[in-house]
């Protein structure tokens, strides 16, 4: 396969995504803005228009782009950022040995530093605020907002006649057509965020909000032995190829700083981190030795590199910790447990909570968005929706308003393990407590009894909470609770979450979501097998499964499938029903119109027996009735 | 592995299911009744009681049982059936060439006939009705009902203190403890069925109903070349090993009769079929040549063999067929399209509809249950909940009442492809139209865009509709729409549906469902890895995934996992929080009790610093915050 070959050459997965072509849709308003998406072209004979799909894969899937991970991606947003005139470059924080886990001078076991390291990062000029929320509240439509508007529409306007509003949106306000002004308003109100650190100009702007397409996040982490930096970068490239909208780098141990630099310089999607992980490394892994100074230093380090959002577990307050004592699985969030340890050891309120406004000052100088962590999320069905969880949620609501007071973007992290009947309460409480700030959940898993299948137990909960209003779904792989995911696990996790997010868009009544389902269903009905593969989330797997039963190339165009075989096909029958109905102009509006129906049936019957009887010789087998 | 070895010896998969022991719980009321279930024994040191789980695997997982597929299973129910004194044996219908697809006398390409073929099947004596519904309505509690009661309880009574009613049951009436009288009443009211053909005495009684555990069905079909009968039987054995509660034999082409005989004589679960498939074979695959006589002959043939439920597409009425003309994917049910063809060709009302009461006469003579087929179910998101679908549903409601008038058991088949926001309407309309007869759905799939992952797109819909009240979920494998499932696909499909059904039981508030989740979560929290594997739906896969990252045998007992490594573990921290909280008697009832909490915290802090600090040296990496 093309991408595999090129991977061997340049170290990361490249090549077009099967059956689709990269296009760039220019903004009619802003010259510099051209939005990347993919177009799936269907069989010429079908008379079907191409289907535009949201594309997270960046330049890696663009045959026109030349990829060199040592140079990094083009700095798409740099001119936009500088044009605003509110940033300055300065001598950045010097790299320290502890940034890479005390990696020795010989760098043994280390990754090489990124060749083109930025020595003079950007930050807001004194007294300035460079957050997208700040611009939005000033009434300014940024190029980032314009990009998001075009990106979310997917040419929706051109599809008007196909657009039927059909869904239950639970109070979401999804417009027929997304305008830049709508994006600005959503960001200004805090109902959406555009994670876009000014030091990550390589990123293609995207929005996380309940009134936009539901997004998904994939987590990656460095390997114990990170000898091959390309494979570290490829974890990100592979995730976005299958549809990850953002990627969280949860690396620990050695090489954290350098690995993150390689990922950021090559990432077209926003990158999130959990700064407390690196801070803990800097104090030798002893939680009680953590200090505000070490944590602050880490925030600056990562903000200068360009991390787009930080998970901050500032809601794990000292008085809430005893509430977890009665739990079956206690505290399962790593960040939450680190802070719980610190609070217990010092019997002090969390410094993340007490220094929150100082943290916000840093966030707004780089436009880093908050992802307020749910350190007390339930780790089992038994602990779902308990006091500890909601106590923290209410505190996150209070912190959201404090961040918004400084025009800093916020999203809220959610559970976890929750049985189906308790999922909606999570969404409703979050919307109420956090003023409709975007919700970002891990699953939730709807049962604990299927380790090895937790991408599915969580995909069920993710689809449901996405429908109810969650803006971004953090993926879970089949290895959850058991081990570290490999390349295949990451793909399965991303595709599972992509289908869950799409199911949520459909149920919310997103006006363009159904276009792809309908195009695929028409292809299925017409036996356009290649179109069916190309329109699916994972064309390779779809084709491979088909070929296991019908390997012959002819079967790709044959008007039958392995379920019924060549001699009998239920879909064929429908085609005649349709032809006859058309001929007889017989499609009564309700099933009560039986009489009129029967009238035409006599004629249908006659034509039918004169006509295509030979179509129906023989029989075949289908796996379900 | 033991089961693989034994498979090589005797042709089907046998051996105990990992980590569990087969037990037989005797009825305190009826001497002949001993109910098979499995008990998962946990680490002796854990102080945890064994966990009883519902067991569908039959004698194949019982080391005490001797398996010989040429002899078939013991006839568990035969004495119960004869003891009722309302059946007679008689000279059964003679096997005809067309029963096996005109298999030649040399039987080339055929399977051997089952050695111990029953020549004198049972049927009701003239004027008698042998359906479980008839007995129930007479106030008779049959051994089958007693078996079901004990089976559904899983020793629930012994677990009283663990049982908390926590769920949203949408009007279901699940009792704390299932009694035989409750089973009788549910069957009498038509809210549950016990599929139990008097000619399938090998089956272990089970109930399908909204107030019992949610069940799942797996479909199997014969291979094009069925040279190895053992592999045909093993498809059934493999499905029930992983949790299939019933199995549908959707075989077509040759060997239908003989293959079905092998499956029935070796099946401990109810077997369902779609008789119209075999009837179509008998007329050379030409739908318009189908006649009532050929169909009736097929019903008798299969009833004498012991098929427990028949899918009958009697709701596909002539006037509804034009309603499908406007659809994106028309008629996707094979049975539905066969009948649509027949109706169009003859311009006549369906003979299944017109002869319905005659069919019912046959059903009650053998206690075959109806599975009223949804021949007009939607095959795409676009066609969900349309006129054609609901027109058929209302007719199925009418037919349900006609079947009940003769005390014949009924369940109703449902869709299909339905977006999340339209799922509940399906359940609500079915309950209303069909008088709470059990609903039996295929999925539904909540999006069309993920071929290759349709076990997941449908698992989402299945979990939701199961929660809303569906009694049995028909599985979908990853090969759906693409090809024929292999052994691995069947396992993945069954396990996916098992977890969906369990998630539904949890959300409905089934009083015993949570016991297994809680036991597994405690094992997870205590790092009892083997217990965690054994309590999961697929222990082999769980252990295999764990070992890919931590293969060492020691890691099975180590108090850490690959997510955080040996030096840092969030669960450990919770253990101290708990210990300290216990010591200080500090577990305030609400998070508002912050003051009291802080009071104890000072002491906790002191103990903590004197105490286990050395527990916290170092750090590790976890894949999610």
Answer for the pair A111, A262: CB distance below 8 angstroms, yes or no: yes
pLDDT at B583 over 70: no
A413 is in an annotated binding site: yes
Cβ–Cβ below 8 Å for A325 and B581: yes
With CA atoms as reference, the chain B residue closest to A615 would be B286
How far apart are the CA of A487 and the nearest CA of chain B, in angstroms?
Answer: 13
Cβ–Cβ below 8 Å for A328 and B167: no
Q: Give which of A326, A328, A349 is closest to A339, Cα–Cα.
A: A349
Q: Where are the alpha helices (DSSP H) in A27-159?
A: 78-83, 132-137, 143-153
**Which pLDDT score is estimated for A612?**
30
A375 is in an annotated binding site: yes
Answer for the pair B307, B272: CB distance below 8 angstroms, yes or no: yes
Residue-wise DSSP of A309-358: EEEE-TT--GGGGGGGTT-SS----HHHHHHHHHHHHHT---HHHHTHHH
Task: Collect all residues of chain B within an 8 Å Cβ-Cβ radius of residue A325.
Answer: 577-578, 581-582, 586-587
Answer for the pair A221, A485: CB distance below 8 angstroms, yes or no: no
pLDDT band at B305 (very low <50, low <70, confident <90, very high): very high
pLDDT at B611 over 80: no
Q: Where are the alpha helices (DSSP H) in A268-307?
A: 275-282, 292-305
Tallying the residues shown for chain A, one arrives at: 625
Answer for the pair A304, A93: CB distance below 8 angstroms, yes or no: yes
Cβ–Cβ below 8 Å for A322 and B483: no
Higher per-residue pLDDT: B134 or A155:
B134
Q: Select the highest-mean-pLDDT range: A26-35, B554-563, B577-586.
A: A26-35
Computed over every residue of chain B, the mean pLDDT equals 88
How far apart are the CA of A195 and the nearest CA of chain B, in angstroms?
Answer: 19
With CA atoms as reference, the chain A residue closest to B575 would be A330
Residue A98 has a CB neighbour count (10 Å cut-off) of 19
How far apart are the CA of A130 and the nearest CA of chain B, in angstroms?
Answer: 27
How many angstroms separate the CA atoms of A89 and A78, rounded?
12
Query: What's the count of helices (H) and strands (E) in chain B, helices before strands?
Result: 21, 15
Cβ–Cβ below 8 Å for A570 and B281: no
Answer for the pair B202, B264: CB distance below 8 angstroms, yes or no: yes
Interface test with B, best of A276, A345, A442, A570 (most B CBs within 10 A): A570
How many angstroms separate the CA atoms of B340 and B273, rounded?
19
Cβ–Cβ below 8 Å for B616 and A285: yes
Asked if the peptide bond before residue A543 counts as cis, ω within 30 degrees of 0, the response is: no
CATH code, residues B77-514: 3.20.20.540
Residue B245's alpha-carbon distances to A53, B473, B515, in angstroms, are 40, 10, 20
Answer for the pair B196, B77: CB distance below 8 angstroms, yes or no: yes
CB within 8 A of A115, min separation 6: which ones? A70, A71
- CA angle (B597, B599, B602) in 5-degree steps: 110
Task: Collect all residues of chain B within an 8 Å Cβ-Cβ radius of residue A574.
Answer: 324, 327, 329-332, 337, 340
Which candidate from A224, A331, A460 shows the least CB-CB separation from B460?
A460
Cβ–Cβ below 8 Å for B590 and A387: yes
With CA atoms as reference, the chain B residue closest to A477 would be B623
- Burial-class residue B429 by CB neighbours within 10 Å (0-12, 13-18, 19+): middle
Q: B493-522 pLDDT, tens per residue?
A: 999 999 999 999 999 999 889 999 999 999
Q: B25-54 pLDDT, tens per residue?
A: 999 999 989 999 999 999 999 999 999 999
Query: C-alpha dihedral over A499, A503, A508, A514, to 10 degrees?
Result: 90
How far apart are the CA of B540 and the nearest CA of chain A, in angstroms?
Answer: 9
How far apart are the CA of B439 and the nearest CA of chain A, in angstroms?
Answer: 16
Task: Collect all residues of chain B within an 8 Å Cβ-Cβ radius of residue A46.
Answer: none
B376 is in an annotated binding site: yes
Answer for the pair B383, B426: CB distance below 8 angstroms, yes or no: no
- Burial-class residue B587 by CB neighbours within 10 Å (0-12, 13-18, 19+): middle
How many angstroms separate the CA atoms of B284 and A245, rounded?
53
Q: Is the ipTM of this complex over 0.90?
A: yes
Query: What's the count of helices (H) and strands (E) in chain A, helices before strands?
Result: 21, 15
Q: Give which of B40, B35, B38 is closest to B24, Cα–Cα.
A: B35
Higher per-residue pLDDT: A30 or B221:
A30
How many angstroms separate the CA atoms of B380 and B135, rounded?
41
pLDDT means over runs of 10, chain A (625 residues):
47 93 95 95 94 97 94 97 98 91 71 86 98 98 98 78 82 95 98 98 98 97 69 94 97 88 97 96 92 98 98 97 92 93 93 98 98 97 97 98 98 98 98 98 98 98 98 97 91 98 97 94 92 97 89 65 55 70 48 35 41 27 34
Q: B451-485 pLDDT, tens per residue?
A: 999 999 999 999 999 999 999 999 999 999 998 88
How many angstroms separate the CA atoms of A414 and A217, rounded?
13
**Which pLDDT score is estimated for A559?**
58
pLDDT at B421 over 90: yes
**Which pLDDT score is estimated for B555?**
65
Cβ–Cβ below 8 Å for A330 and B387: no
Q: Could you state, in order of their start, the residue ranges of all structural domains in chain B?
A: 77-514, 527-611
Measured between its terminal Cα atoms, the distance across chain B in Å is: 37
Residue A254's alpha-carbon distances to A111, A312, B45, in angstroms, are 9, 22, 38
**Which pLDDT score is estimated for A564?**
54
How many angstroms separate the CA atoms of A377 and A416, rounded?
6
Residue B310 structure tokens? 């028949």
In the block, which residue shows the tokens 């369990």?
Answer: B502
**Which pLDDT score is estimated for B164?**
73
How many angstroms separate the CA atoms of A251 and A222, rounded?
5
């Amino acid at each position: 396969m093309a991408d595999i070959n090129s991977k061997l050459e340049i170290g990361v997965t490249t090549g077009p995504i099967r059956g689709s072509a990269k296009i760039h849709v220019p903004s009619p308003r802003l010259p510099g803005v051209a939005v990347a998406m993919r177009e799936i072209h269907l069989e010429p004979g079908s008379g079907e228009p191409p289907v535009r799909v949201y594309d997270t894969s960046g330049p890696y899937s663009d045959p026109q782009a030349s990829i060199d991970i040592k140079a990094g991606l083009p700095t798409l947003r740099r001119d936009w950022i500088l044009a605003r005139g509110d940033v300055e470059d300065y001598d950045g924080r010097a790299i320290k040995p502890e940034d890479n886990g005390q990696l020795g001078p010989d760098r043994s076991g280390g990754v090489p530093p990124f060749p083109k390291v930025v020595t003079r990062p950007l930050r807001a000029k004194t007294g300035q605020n460079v957050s997208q929320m700040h611009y939005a509240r000033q009434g300014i439509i940024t190029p980032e907002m314009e990009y998001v508007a075009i990106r979310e529409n997917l040419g929706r306007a051109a599809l008007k006649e196909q657009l039927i509003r059909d869904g239950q949106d639970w109070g979401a306000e999804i417009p027929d057509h997304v305008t830049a002004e709508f994006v600005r308003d959503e960001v200004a109100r805090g109902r959406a965020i555009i994670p876009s650190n000014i030091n990550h100009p390589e990123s293609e702007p995207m929005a996380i909000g309940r009134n936009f397409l539901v997004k998904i996040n994939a987590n990656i982490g460095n390997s114990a032995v990170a000898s091959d930096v390309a494979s570290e970068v490829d974890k990100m490239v592979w995730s976005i190829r299958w549809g990850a909208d953002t990627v969280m780098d949860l690396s620990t141990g050695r090489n954290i700083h350098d690995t993150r630099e390689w990922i950021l310089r090559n990432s077209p999607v926003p990158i999130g981190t959990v700064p407390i992980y690196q801070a803990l490394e800097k104090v030798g892994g002893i939680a009680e030795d953590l200090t505000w100074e070490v944590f602050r230093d880490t925030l600056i380090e990562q903000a200068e590199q360009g991390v787009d959002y930080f998970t901050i577990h500032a809601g794990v307050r000292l008085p809430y910790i005893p509430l977890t004592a009665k739990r079956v699985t206690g505290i399962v969030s790593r960040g939450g447990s680190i802070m719980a340890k610190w609070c217990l050891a010092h019997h002090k309120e969390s410094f993340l909570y007490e220094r929150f406004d100082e943290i916000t000052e840093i966030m707004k100088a780089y436009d880093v968005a908050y992802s307020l962590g749910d350190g007390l999320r339930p780790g089992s069905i038994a602990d779902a929706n308990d006091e500890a969880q909601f106590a923290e949620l209410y505190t996150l609501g209070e912190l959201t308003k404090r961040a918004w007071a400084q025009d800093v973007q916020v999203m809220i992290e959610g559970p976890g393990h929750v049985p189906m009947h308790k999922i909606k309460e999570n969404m409703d409480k979050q919307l109420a407590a956090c003023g409709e700030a975007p919700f970002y959940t891990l699953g939730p898993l709807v049962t604990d009894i299927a380790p090895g299948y937790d991408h599915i137990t969580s995909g069920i909960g993710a689809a449901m909470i996405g429908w109810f209003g969650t803006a971004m779904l953090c993926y879970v792989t089949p290895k959850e609770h058991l081990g570290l995911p490999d390349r295949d696990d990451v793909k399965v996790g991303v595709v599972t979450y992509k289908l869950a997010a799409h199911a949520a868009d459909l149920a919310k009544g997103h006006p363009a979501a159904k276009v792809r389902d309908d195009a695929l269903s028409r292809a299925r009905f017409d036996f356009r097998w290649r179109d069916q593969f190309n329109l699916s989330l994972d064309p390779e797997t779809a084709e491979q499964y088909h070929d296991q039963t019908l390997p012959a190339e002819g079967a790709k165009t044959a008007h039958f499938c392995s379920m019924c075989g060549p001699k009998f096909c239920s879909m064929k029958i429908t085609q005649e029903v349709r032809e006859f109905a058309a001929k007889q102009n017989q499609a009564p509006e309700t099933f009560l119109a039986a009489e009129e129906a029967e009238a035409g049936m006599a004629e249908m019957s006659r034509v039918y027996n004169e006509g295509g009887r030979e179509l129906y010789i023989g029989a075949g087998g289908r796996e379900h009735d």
